[in-house]
Amino acid sequence: MRVNAVLNFALVALAGLPFLHVSNLRAADEFEREPILYSESTPDNRISRLQQKLDSGEVSLTHDGEKSYVNSLLKALEIPVSSQMLVFSKTSLQMRCISPRTPRAIYFNDDVYMGFCQSGDVLEISAVDAQLGTVFYTMNQEENDKPQFQRRTDNCLVCHSSSRTEGVPGHLVRSLYVDASGQPLLSAGSRMVDHTTPIEQRWGGWYVTGTHGSQKHLGNLIVRGRDVQEPVDNSAGQNVNALKDRLNVKHYVSPHSDIVALMVLEHQVLVHNRIVKAGFDTRQALSYDIMMNKTLENPAGTRSESTTRRIKSTGDRLVEALLFVDEEKLTEPIKGTSGYAEQFSAAGLHDSRGRSLRDLDLTTRMLKYPCSYLIYSEAFNGLPTESRNYVWQRLFDILSGKEQSEKFAHLSQDDRKAVLEILRATISDLPEYY
């Protein structure tokens, strides 16, 4: 299979990439209308709140020469330095700055993503917004007495609101082959990446540090020439613990591009996009019902069958992502190099037995208890009541054992019991039936 993974925070489409279609324009038109009003609405997220603190003087940022505001922003946004991942394909607004010798760095936590390019004009930032899905920003990399986040809409949505992002403003992780200049070899194909993708098809175009035994991947691979001969020999790219022979790591705040951070990112992007999709679909469907009830003089609150189906459909897809349906199995242990795994797990909410939904397995699967930690997120809690109630009910039916369909056969009875117990211990406002 041909691949190279790329998280796009691009503000314009890379020439020649087949991202934009008529159907995608229609999807964008829909969330630009009531009740979403994506571009017109005022964001409320970690970035908009940080800007308010910068404006009031409550928080200040420190410029650090060639590293711009990266260190200061990571601290202000509580993004771990250990989350750094390096991508060397020219698939960003600032493609001129990106190459295998000068990769773009990406950092993230549960609700913010940030991209940094050496000698770039701007930092590229996106925040998960409970009402607006994903909101995109840039910040000038030059020193400024009053640093400003600039919101970006239309140009970002060219890539970031397509079928690849559930048709809503969201994120992409891709995998494809890349040549020595950083150009993606699109003729060799590409692939979207999430936690269901086989390891051997992940991370083309990314640097990857960490060990994974005999499992193979496409990370650290630079194709010489323009032709890809399969199967490719990427033996030199496997089980790499340091990148100092591939680039000057001193230009970055970390020398790592951690394999565990990459795995968490791929899961997280999928869940975030499905949270946004569920929220948008529910709000749009309920808004349509209000209009039709007035037109047909139905009692207020009458719900159409189509609205019920729409809430169910997107809710089911979100539940599948939360519970790792079709997750690719690991055959040998995965171990990172940056300490990201330890920091990620330490941030979890624990029950009385010390268990957390952020406990990592990394031997046969990503998490020890297969339910996404994003169930605690502001984005999930910001879902419309109707959607959130549906998801909670579905989760309960599955975790309690009432639902025993083949789709959730990967969850053992012990898995279901443990996840249910952790949820009961760590979430105070669960529905009463829990």
Predicted pLDDT of residue 165: 77
Tokens of 224: 């010489």
Residue 4, pLDDT above cutoff 50: no
Residue 96: pLDDT above 70?
yes
Query: pLDDT tens across 273-311, in order?
Result: 999 999 999 999 999 999 999 899 999 989 999 999 999
Distances (CA, A) of 14 to 18, 20, 127, 286: 9, 11, 22, 36
* Amino acid identity, position 5: A
Look at the block and give the residue holding tokens 């009961």. Answer: 424
Sorted by where each begins, the domain ranges of the chain are 260-426
Q: Residue 7 pLDDT > 60, yes or no?
A: no
Question: Please, are residues 139 and 122 in contact by the beta-carbon 8 Å criterion?
Answer: yes
Q: How far is CA 38 from each of CA 46, 81, 305, rounded to the nearest angstrom?
A: 17, 31, 26
* Secondary structure string (H, E, C) spanning the chain: CCCCCCECCCCCCCCCCCCCCHHHHHHHHHHCCCCCCCCCCCCCCHHHHHHHHHHHCCCCCCCCHHHCCHHHHHHHCCCCHHHCEEECCCCCCCHHHCCCCCCEEEEECCCEEEEECCCCCEEEEEEEECCCEEEEEEEECCCCCCCCCEEECHHHHHHHCCHHHCCCCCCCEEEECEECCCCECHHHCEEECCCCCCHHHCCCCECCECECCCCCCCCCCCECCCCCCCCCCCHHHCCCCCCCCCCCHHHCCCCCCEHHHHHHHHHHHHHHHHHHHHHHHHHHHHHHHHHHHHHHCCCCCCCCHHHHHHHHHHHHHHHHHHCCCCCCCCCCCCECCCCHHHHHHHCCCECCCCCECCCECCCCCCECCCCCHHHHCHHHHCCCHHHHHHHHHHHHHHHCCCCCCHHHCCCCHHHHHHHHHHHHHHCCCCCCCC
Return the minimum-mean-pLDDT range out of 9-23, 255-269, 409-423: 9-23
Is the CA virtual torsion 130, 69, 337, 93 positive or negative?
A: positive
* Contact of 177 with 185, CB cutoff 8 Å: yes
State the pLDDT at residue 20: 32
Tell me how far apart the alpha carbons of residues 78 and 270 are, in angstroms, rounded to a whole number.
22
Q: Grade residue 28 by pLDDT with cuts at 50, 70 and 90.
A: low
Q: What six digits make up the tokens of 390?
A: 């549906």
pLDDT higher than 50, residue 156: yes
Asked whether the beta carbons of 174 and 17 are under 8 A apart, the reply is no
pLDDT value, residue 184: 94
Listed range (9-23, 98-112, 194-208, 218-232) with the worst mean pLDDT: 9-23
Average pLDDT in the 44-59 region? 98
| Residue-by-residue DSSP string for 64-84 | -GGGTTHHHHHHHTT--GGG-
pLDDT in tens, 336-357: 999 999 999 999 999 999 999 9
Pick from 141, 114, 130: which is nearest to 7 by CA? 114
Q: Write down the pLDDT at residue 3.
A: 41
DSSP annotation string for 115-164: EE-TT-SEEEEEEEETTTEEEEEEEESS--SS---EEE-HHHHHHHSSGG
How confident is the model over 261-271, as a mean pLDDT?
98
Scan for tokens 């055959």, then name that residue. 331
At 160 the pLDDT is: 67
136-155 confidence digits (pLDDT tens): 999 999 999 999 999 998 77
**φ and ψ at 406, to 5 degrees?**
-60, -30
